[in-house]
Structure 1
Amino acid sequence: MQISISLQIILSILVLIILVKLILSWIKKNERNKKIEWMESQKYTILHILVPRDNEKSPTAAEQMFASLHGIFHPDAKWQEQISFEIISRDKYIHFYAHVPTHFKDFLEGQIYAQYPTVEISEVEDYTDDDFSYLKAVGCELILNKNDAYPIKTFQSFEVDPLSAITSVLTKVNDDEQIWIQIIVKPVSDSWQERGIKFVESIRGGHSSEKKNILLSIIKSFINFVFELISVAGSSSAEAKPVEKVSEVKLSGPQEAALKSVEEKIVKLGFSTKMRVALLSPDEYAGKAKTAIVAGVFKQFNTNNLNGFEPTKIVSGREFIKSYQKREFYDDGYVLNIEELASLFHLPTVAVETPSIVWAGSKKGEPPADLPIEGSADPDELTIFAKSDFRHLVHRFGIKIRDRRLHMYAVGKTGTGKSTMLENMIIDDIVKGKGVAVVDPHGDLINHVLNFIPNSRVNDVVYFNPADRDWPVGFNVLENVDPDLKNIVASGVVGIFKKIFGESWGPRLEYILRNTILALLDNPDSTMLGIMKILTDKDYRKKIIEHVKDPVIRDFFLNEYEKYDPKFRTEAIAPIQNKVGQFLSSSTIRNIVGQPKSSIDIEKIMNEGKILLLDLSIGRIGEDNSALLGAMMITKIQLAAMRRTNIPEEERRDFFLYVDEFQNFATESFAVILSEARKYRLGLIMTNQFIAQMDEVVAKAIFGNVGSIVSFRVGATDASFLTKEFEPVFEPNDLVNLDNYHVYIKMAINGVTRPAFSAITLSPSKGETTNIEKIINVSRERYAKPRSFVEEKIQAWSDEQYRLAKNDFADKDEKIRKILYDERKGSKVINGYNEIKDQAGKKWYIAQEAGAKKSEENQPVESPVKNKAKVEEVIEDKKESRTSDEARDQENIKPDNSNNNHHQNHNQRVKETFTRNKKTPDTRELKSILAPILERKFQSRKQKDTNQGLINVDDLKKFTNPPSNINNSVINNDNDIKTLKADEVIKFK
């Protein structure tokens, strides 16, 4: 009877247990659905995490990050938010992501930045939303093979970063395959540590550590309890058994070590965890094989006497991928502490040499607190050109006008975005009505700018395009120069040619060229064409010197240059003739710089805030021509700025000069512009590709005077140099790895240079106009002249200079040279006179030699008497009223010291012969006087010179200025070396 009752009780209890189980299952399912509904109602954000290649943060940093993330735990919340950390390989590149509730995004970013300050975090689209319907999906989960109280092997026990093995296996995919690894975590309460303590106690008490079915354990315990009750009821007389004391079981060494590891695990914060591995591949079979390999790499965390991972069954189909996409985590998972999680997920360091990791290109720097962002200042006072990119501080910003007066310099490789930044700033200035000048050696920048000039500013544009050959614009750098600024102009022009001459430059050349330019500056209507003429044309030179006021310049030409040995003079001016001649030989350039009156007034352009566009395309006018015109224009702008001293500073209108690839135009005098331009309200914005393009003097001026420096991506050499400007925030590797349009800026703000920070320059402007053709036509009408008209004027100027020089300076020496021109060749005997023609084709008559035959056939074209009078007039002594300078000039070159007395005697004889009774010199008498000189020179030359067949006749010139062409001995001008063949000397005798 008692047994029957007992069975009934047992059956009733079993039924009750089953009912309880069913109820609990329904409740659990209901809770699960609610949890799913709650989780799906949350908004999530995907963060892409990039770390610099030089990251040295160990997994300890990740451990600290997870410890901080435990702060999202809500003890009173029904459900806990979860964060998924993911490593994927796609297109053979490895990426690191975090999937986080949107309301926790800033918190997660902050914790990551706290441990990894140099990382880049950006919000991106979920990569699992991409179309991969053409691929087969397979995957599995990773679970622990023992009770989660046991720890896995952590990074503390690895000699090599365990992440290296994970990333290495992720590279073993084809181009059309993807591998996804997902680690979902959510913080748990400290109750798991209490369970861990009980677990340790149970092991020490001799209980198995194997996992048990909780429900079966409860049923078994309950049945044992019932049987004990029956047993007690059936034997009332039985005595109660004493309670046995449970003694601790003696454990082996490995068991003790395992329990010690458990105790070490539970002292740290824990997260409930779920891990998945998914693989997408066109081949399902190959995908399963590779999934097993990826899952197998996590066995590196396994330890025999502790814990480890094992994969669940690899499944295929969309259901598994759907769980991955939703980041499903509805059960309790298993608990890993923060050290274990840091071992599984941390950002790669320099020790991880996997080649396919997507690293951050460069560091990001925090902008200054007083950065002038858009909306913080008057729009007319702020030029917007970039946006900050430090973490979540993304703001469009610009530079104030007062700081632009301190100048801006940008450097970076070609194609990195320098011209785009200039374009945006130029367009902003133009739209706001500011005055600008743009010097463009390529033409592309100006072509873009022309597309954005509004209708209201079409008439303000001065378009200077030397390649527009049919419509040359007049530009004379020597025109109307303030006497106080002449030396600055000379230095500027000399600096321009010095830059181009390169290795052929020397102090003597600079000395001659500087004096030449200063001489031309004292003469009205002088142009660059005068440089060649004054050096090679004695007549023109004398005309120019007449107007020179500077006694030093006069003395140079009269007493030094004129007395140069012809060979020495030729060598001295050859580089000038080469470069200047090449410059002026181009009709395109000559038609621009050869106009005495400039058609563009730089000073007016600056003071009225107009737009000067200098299209100096190297491809269309040549590199040297582009450099010369650009440097001359910059010099003229400098002069115009310096003339603003007459305008009160508060009334000076800001004008901004943009120079792209400015190294093409930068001379040593550029340093003066940088140091002085600010006070004249001239702001420079310059760019170039690398620092070595600049002269050392210019480079020092740039980095010593420029208020704002912008660096795009540069080479290693420049990076090392620029680091001095951007440290301690940025290092050389950062400057080398900048992306296009990304920059580091050290900017002046309110007159004070702030520490460097990172930014992204703005995209090209939008909103093009259709005014280009109209702008070009208006500019032509106002500032250019037809080509034929300009060339006619230049030719007329050249002819006029020759005529004036011939009339003004046909002195004794010059006329003797003309009279004796090719005396014998082609001469005619008319009425007792030899008729010859000078270089200009004019006829002259010299008394015939005694015994010479007279021609009765030829009749004189001009009156012999009249021309004879001319000859007699020529040979008169110069009157004493001539200036001492002219007298010194008349002597020309001093005789050789070794034969000084001999030369003086012959010189006196020649002079006496020419002046005695105003008698016309006959040829025989002239030859008899000159023969000893020629003979002596010939013998001396024959002994000393290896070139024995030639004789220098400069000594002959200094007495008589003999013909410049005798017996086919070609002489181009007075500056060439004059030689006669030896046999011709004998004939002449």
Structure 2
Amino acid sequence: MASPEQGWLGRALLAPGTTLRDLAEMVEHGLGSAAGTISVLSVLGALAAVGVLRRGRRRRLGARARQITVLTPPEVDAKGALAFWAHLIGQLRPSWARMLFGQPHLGFEYTVTPEEGAAIRVWVPGAVPPGLVERAVASAWPGAHTDTHQPARPPLPNPIGGSTRVVAGGELRLGRREGLPLRTDYDGDLVRNLITAADDLGPGQAACVQILARPVTGRRVARAMHAAASTGARPSVLAGLMREVLNLLTPGPVTTRASRAGAGSERPGGDRQMVMEYSAAARAAAAKARGAHWETVVRYAASIPVSDEPDDTNPRAQARAAARGRADALATVFGACTDHNYYRRRHRLRVATLIQQRRLGRGDVLSVPELATIAHLPTETGLPGLQRAGARALSPAPEIPVGGEYTKPLGLADTGTRRPVAVKISDARHHLHILGPTGVGKSTLLARTILDDAEAGRGVIVVDPKGDLVTDVLSRLPARLGERVVLFDADSTAPPPCVNPLDIGRIGRAGMDLAVDNLVTVFHRIFHQWWGPRSDDIMRASLLTLCAQPGTATLADLPRLLIEPAFRARVTRTTKDPVLRGFWDSYEQLSDTGRAQLTGPLLNKLRAFLLRPFVRAAIAGGPSTVEFADILDEGGICLARLPKGSLGEETSRLVGSLLVARTWQAVTARARIPSADRPDAALVLDEAQNFLNLSTPIEDMLAEARGLRLSLLLAHQNLSQLSRELRDGISANARNKIVFAVSPDDARDLARHTEPWLSEHDLSHLDAFHAAARLLVDGRNARPFTLTTRPLDPPIPGRAREIAAAARAHLTTPALPEPGPGPVLDRGQRPDPARRDPRQP
């Protein structure tokens, strides 16, 4: 008969019948009494309440979860992961909060797919405050970018329609007591090995390694360290049962672990190697006990899609074998962490569900250095398919405005909470220089700025040589602003407004010289390869002569003045300026052949310019039908759509330059208005190098425009497009810099404005719609920062046509003139579309 000293297992093996009867009697006796029933029900109720509480805590912790994609910076500090996990240890809740609401955990995930490459993401439950993990990433790895997506997406992609997936994987747990440390001085890069192990995936395949971690209390760490006194492998239930069986079959003195340890310590002549091993393990465990700790679980899986169509080759078995091989390759990488402790693979049922739910039960205790060894950003460059941040992300200075009534919006900061950033209107008077190649977000930024100026009632003039910018603005303008729009559209068949650069009725004779200088300089700079001093002299004298006559001159009168003797005689007869009379006297003395040789280079360019109906109507159609001074002062919106594909490059440059010249004439007239009464306005030039052809030096123009409250937005693609004069003038006087991705050569020059915060590498590795900015704040340079442009709202169907119709409705425009020069009209007279000049053919 079994004795009480033999234990429950000995009694059950030697007398199983008696043991079962005793158990049945105990249950029957306990349930037979009311007290027993109440006790059992109480226990069951307590267990049910605990289960409900656990499910509720798990549901609350996982609610509103978000996923943060971390883009690796160009240079990764190897100690950054230590700082990251040490920073987040502060999320440990008090004991009462952990009991009621649970302790939220994080998920550090490596995912590799052929479509997206290798991505490093952090799963964050809704219980963690927004922006906290993003700021921790930015602090630990300077230059890293974060992209937050809510709700969180599953680590393994869902199968595409018509297929299922085979998932193989498991869980990694410590093979020895959790108080013993893993290896933290591994010379290689664990993440590099993981990404390499998952390389060369086929379409639809995926690999994932998931590290779930939550901070733990000192009590849990103390228990783990106390258990580390035994350096053997972690005992299992089966091992305990086998020990009981062996003790039963081989009776003898009971030997416990404590007695063995005591006996070993009493024998000075014991195994020296074992004593050294125990001593080293004890020192390692003591070192691990220092600092903060995390409770962790590591899961890994590989997914391979399988078609649902029947196949004789048994693709599911092949996919299962391939997935198992991929998963084993991921798990093998963690063998590099072996030291006093190691990771042991465990097979888990429904591993795909476990990974997708990101549920953390009871895990293994790791120190911060151990966790940083397995959960960090790769330190090596050139990893295949790794999603990297092109440039470091810098948060804006606190003084940078976030928006408001007297600001221009620019975008969103790409760090932290991604707050809006803007530039004050008073600082925008120092002009904005926007640089970057096609497709990086310049037009988006310009369109948002134009729409904001229009909404705020500030005058804005836009010159667009490609056409897309004006189209984007037209399709998003509010319908109520249509009556404020003046539209020049080279592709439209409707008559355009007329802006005559020789119409000096508003600016008076005092502005005549400036108008002629600008017009001659524009032609000179655009046709500089074929322009000589004779052409310059003839055009200047001719324009001054025409402007001195009563009525409104146009460029269409210039060819008549040079080639028609009767018209020339009538115009020059009243010329009073002796210098001009001397010019025309010498011109009349030339032979017809001599005059043709002198005027040929000028006339062939004018004819190419005036033969286009749109140009002839918009520039030489008679008196101006719009005044740019009214647009700037009364909140008008002038949109000039001059696509080079429709007009040609030279004609587009010429028309745009003449519009800029007319704008500058209207701006200089503001000098007569007190400074406080000058409303703010803007001139937006896309591909600005094509239109800055005025007689006024660019540095003087920018300086004067600031005082006259005109802010220029100068956008172009690269510095090589600018002449030395333009480059120096814009660099010194356009003090607000916004730089998108540029070439290394341009980055070398532009880094002078951003160093030491942003280097050449940062400026040349910016992503699309990602820019570096250095702005003025109250006239002082703030430190540079990085931002992302905000996407435009969807276009409103039919809005562009509606705005164009409204612009035509409130503007009286002349009809397209017939080929050939028109008459010189009296000042203030408007052309009658129904009446033609009898002198025209």
Q: TM-score range by the shorter chain?
A: 0.7 to 0.9
Residues 253 and 796 of structure 1: CA distance in aligned 2, closer, same or farther (over 3 Å): same
Aligned equivalents of 1:12, 1:442: Cα separation in 2: 89
- Deviation string 1:583-636 (CA, Å, 9 cap, x unpaired) is 234454345444442233333443443333323233333322222122112111
- Which residue identity lines up with residue 436 of structure 2 in the other structure? G
| Residue 168 (structure 1) shift | 0.5
Match of 1:279 in 2: 302
Residue 299 of structure 1 is matched in structure 2 by 335
Q: Distance in 2 between the 1:338 and 1:467 partners?
A: 65
**1:497 equivalent among 499, 512, 523:** 523
SS in 2 for 1:794: coil
1:680 alignment partner in structure 2: 708
Cα distance per residue 1:868-926 (max 9 Å; x no partner): xxxxxxxxxxxxxxxxxxxxxxxxxxxxxxxxxxxxxxxxxxxxxxxxxxxxxxxxxxx
Q: Determine whether 1:290 maps to 2:296.
A: no
- Distance 1:478-1:89 versus aligned 2 partners, 3 A rule: same
Structure 2 counterpart of 1:912: none
Change over 3 Å in CA distance of 1:52–1:516 after alignment to 2: farther
Q: Using the alignment, how far apart are the partners of 2:302 and 2:263 within structure 1?
A: 58
CA distance in 2, matches of 1:426, 1:152: 59
1:114 aligns with 2:139: yes
Is contact 1:150–1:265 with CA below 8 Å preserved after alignment? yes
**Residue 154 of structure 2 aligns to a residue in which SS?**
helix
Query: 1:682–1:29: structure 2 CA closer, same or farther, 3 Å change rule?
Result: closer
Give the secondary structure class of the aligned counterpart of 2:527.
Answer: helix
Query: Which secondary structure state, in structure 2, belongs to the residue aligned with residue 462 of structure 1?
Result: strand
Q: Mapping of 1:401-550 within 5 angstroms?
A: 401-452=425-476, 454=478, 456-465=480-489, 471=495, 473-480=497-504, 482-506=508-532, 509-524=535-550, 525-534=552-561, 547-550=574-577
The 2-side partners of 1:390 and 1:572 are apart by 63
Cα distance change, pair 485–549 in 1 and its aligned pair in 2 (3 A): farther
CA contact (8 A) 1:118 1:363 kept: yes
In the other structure, the counterpart of 1:134 is 164
State the match for 1:267 in structure 2. Answer: 287
Q: Which residue in the other structure is 2:352 paired with? A: 321
Contact 1:454 1:769 in 2 (8 A): no
Measured after TM superposition, the shift of residue 639 of structure 1 is 0.9
1:458 positional shift: 3.9
Pair 1:621 & 2:667 matched: no
By how many angstroms is 1:755 displaced?
Answer: 2.5
Aligned counterparts of 1:616 and 1:85: Cα–Cα separation in 2 = 52
Partner of 1:805: none
Aligned partner of 1:405: which letter?
R
Distance of 1:134 and 1:185 partners within structure 2? 30
Does the Cα contact within 8 Å between 1:51 and 1:347 map onto a contact in 2?
A: no
2:118 is the alignment partner of 1:94: yes
Is the CA contact (8 Å cut-off) linking 1:150 and 1:258 kept in structure 2? no
- 2:814 match: secondary structure: coil
- Mapping for residues 109-258 of structure 1, pairs under 5 Å: 109-124=134-149, 125-128=151-154, 131-132=158-159, 134-154=164-184, 156-158=185-187, 160-190=188-218, 211=235, 246-248=266-268, 252=272, 256=276
Change in Cα spacing, 1:732 to 1:640, as seen in structure 2 (3 Å) is same
Please list the CA deviations of residues 12-66 of structure 1 after superposition, one character each: whole Å capped at 9, or x if unmatched.
Answer: 897799999x99x9999997886565334423534323234412311x2212333
User: What does the per-residue CA deviation read over 1:733-773, in whole Å, with 9 as the maximum and x for residues that have no partner?
Assistant: 43444444333332333444432223333332466675835
> Alpha-carbon deviation of 1:279?
1.6
* Deviation for aligned residue 1:415: 2.8
Q: Is 624-633 or 595-604 further displaced after alignment?
A: 595-604
Counterpart check, 1:67 vs 2:86: yes
SS at match of 2:787: strand
Whole-angstrom distance in 1 between the partners of 2:476 and 2:186:
64
CA apart distance, 1:643: 1.6
**Could you tell me how far 1:648 is from its partner in structure 2?**
2.5
Q: Establish whether residue 312 from structure 1 lines up as the match of residue 355 from structure 2.
A: no
Asked if the contact 2:740–2:766 (Cα under 8 Å) also holds between the matched residues in 1, the reply is yes
Instruction: Map residues 574-973 of structure 1 onto 2, 5 A cutoff.
Output: 574-668=600-694, 669=696, 671=698, 672-765=700-793, 772=801, 775-776=804-805, 779=808, 782-787=811-816, 790-791=817-818, 794=821
CA contact (8 A) 1:747 1:753 kept: yes
C-alpha separation in 2, matches of 1:107 and 1:771: 43
Q: Distance in 2 between matches of 1:430 and 1:215?
A: 80
What residue in structure 1 maps to residue 316 of structure 2? none
Q: Report SS of the residue matched to 1:416.
A: coil
C-alpha RMSD of matched pairs (Å): 4.4
Provide the C-alpha distance between the structure 2 equivalents of 1:49 and 1:275, rounded to a whole number of angstroms.
19
* Helix, strand or coil at the partner of 2:762: helix
Give % identity: 23
The answer on whether the counterparts of 2:104 and 2:128 sit within 8 Å (CA) in structure 1 is: no
1:136 partner SS: strand
Opposite residue 387 of structure 1, the aligned amino acid is L
- Following superposition, the deviation at residue 141 of structure 1 comes to 1.7
CA change 1:411–1:676 in 2 (3 A) is same
Structure of greater Rg: 1
- Specify the alignment match of 1:893 in structure 2: none
Given that 2:557 and 2:821 are in contact with CA atoms closer than 8 Å, whether structure 1 keeps it comes out as no
Question: Structure 1 residues 467, 194: closer, same or farther in 2, change over 3 A?
Answer: closer
Matches of 1:30 and 1:602 in 2, distance apart? 77
Partner-residue secondary structure (3-state), 2:387 = coil
Q: TM-score, normalised by structure 1?
A: 0.67
Cα distance in structure 2, aligned partners of 1:528 and 1:720: 44
Q: 1:440 to 1:783 in 2, by over 3 A?
A: farther
Q: Measured at CA, do residues 678 and 16 of structure 1 come closer, stay the same or move farther in structure 2, by a change above 3 Å? A: farther
SS class of match (2:608): helix
Q: In the superposition, relative to structure 1, how do residues 436 and 795 fare at CA in structure 2: closer, same or farther (>3 Å)?
A: closer
Per the TM alignment, residue 335 of structure 1 is displaced from its structure 2 partner at its CA by 3.4
Q: Is the 8 A contact 1:455 1:771 kept in 2?
A: no
Aligned pairs, number = 757
Q: Distance in 2 between matches of 1:455 and 1:153?
A: 67
Query: For 2:266, what is the secondary structure of its paired residue?
Result: coil
Q: Give per-residue Cα distances to partners, 1:399-447, cap 9 Å, x unaligned.
A: 4433333333323222333333333333333344333322222334334
Q: Judging changes above 3 Å, is the alpha-carbon distance between structure 1 residues 509 and 696 closer, same or farther for their aligned structure 2 residues?
A: farther
- Deviations 1:791-831 (Å, cap 9, x if unpaired)? 38935669xxxxxxxxxxxxxxxxxxxxxxxxxxxxxxxxx
- Return the offset for 1:202: 6.5
Shift in CA distance, 216/677, structure 1 to aligned 2, threshold 3 Å: same
Residue 369 (structure 1) aligns with: 398
In 2: Cα distance, 1:38 partner to 1:526 partner: 83
Does structure 2 retain, via aligned residues, the 8 Å contact 1:47–1:121?
no
